[in-house]
Amino acid sequence: MTENIGVLGKKSPQRTDVERVVNVPLPTVYGPFQAVGYFDHERGDEQVALVYGDPGPDRVLTRLHSECLTGDAFGSRHCECGDQLASALRAVAAEGSGVVVYLRGHEGRGIGLLAKLRAMALQAEGLDTVEANLALGLPVDARDYGVAARILDDLGVRSVRLMSNNPRKREALVRHGIQVAEQVPLLIPPCESNITYLRTKRERLDHHLPHLDAVAHASS
């Protein structure tokens, strides 16, 4: 058995498992952010937080955004991730300060990109997003938010106004020691391609999506 040896060759039980590696200005179409890069030694993931202005410690406008290549980069209409990411970055810039933690390793609620694409194929055949994961023998939601809490802690954030419709994110942050002063809805108008998916998130995953009522009534 080898012991846990730090990079300096000393045994380092105190070493934080999420290490800040770099902090660099990142000008974006939404405004000037700082990109703060972290390495998660425990899981081997590279993570990044986008910080706008000087958020301070309390009631920081915050988004924990789960990586979604198809939604974030390709503009997929299967889900609303891309619009949520853009809305969160816009909101933080409008506020003058805030944090968007972009969580890699969260594809398809933590099952990975290829499994997510396979789950999407099953959804095209009529399964919902929960049934599809289960049909593949995979968990409905395998995401872990511990790294997000440690990144917020490193940034000096004690309490957040969390831009999310997902009660599990709030619960996870609180469990990991970050206070949630408020949950701020991030409601994206649905489209024909994602309305079924969004209804499933509301009905089976307890997401708070009150804006779907109008659409649900119109098309039922």
Nearer to Zn ion, 81 or 162 (CB): 81
CB of 201 to Zn ion, least distance (A): 11
Burial of 185 (0-12, 13-18, 19+ CB in 10 A): exposed
Nearer to Zn ion, 40 or 80 (CB): 80
Interface region with Zn ion, contact rule CB under 5 A, candidates 24-32, 65-73, 96-104, 153-161: 65-73
Nearby residues of 172 by Cβ (< 8 Å), 6 or more positions away: 144, 145, 146, 148, 149
> Would residue 141 show up in a list of annotated catalytic residues for this protein?
yes
Number of residues that bind Zn ion (CB under 5 A): 4
> Would residue 154 show up in a list of annotated catalytic residues for this protein?
no
Nearer to Zn ion, 40 or 67 (CB): 67
Q: Is 190 in the site for Zn ion (CB under 5 A)?
A: no
**Distance (Å, rounded) from C-alpha 108 to C-alpha 126?**
17
Give the position of tokens 């789950």: 119
**DSSP assignment string, 32-55:** EEEEEEEEETTTTEEEEEEEES--
Nearer to Zn ion, 48 or 178 (CB): 48
Nearby residues of 60 by Cβ (< 8 Å), 6 or more positions away: 97, 98, 99, 152, 157, 159, 160, 161
Q: Which of 45, 128, 141, 153 is catalytic?
A: 141
Taking CB under 5 A as the criterion, which residues in 72-101 touch Zn ion?
79, 81
CB of 196 to Zn ion, least distance (A): 14
Q: Is 71 in the site for Zn ion (CB under 5 A)?
A: yes
Nearer to Zn ion, 95 or 131 (CB): 131
CB of 71 to Zn ion, least distance (A): 3
Q: Is 68 in the site for Zn ion (CB under 5 A)?
A: yes
Q: Is 186 in the site for Zn ion (CB under 5 A)?
A: no
CB of 43 to Zn ion, least distance (A): 21
Q: Which of 63, 109, 118, 143 is catalytic?
A: 143
H-helix or E-strand containing 123? helix 113-124
- Give the residue from 173, 181, 107 showing the smallest Cα distance to 146: 173
For the stretch 100-119, what's the b/e string if a residue is b when 16 or more beta carbons lie within 10 angstroms of its beta carbon? Answer: bbbbebbbbbbbeeebbebb
CB of 81 to Zn ion, least distance (A): 3
Q: Is 105 in the site for Zn ion (CB under 5 A)?
A: no
Strands 31-40, 45-52: pairing is antiparallel
Greatest alpha-carbon span in the chain: 65
| Interface residue list for Zn ion (CB under 5 A) | 68, 71, 79, 81
> Known catalytic residues?
141, 143
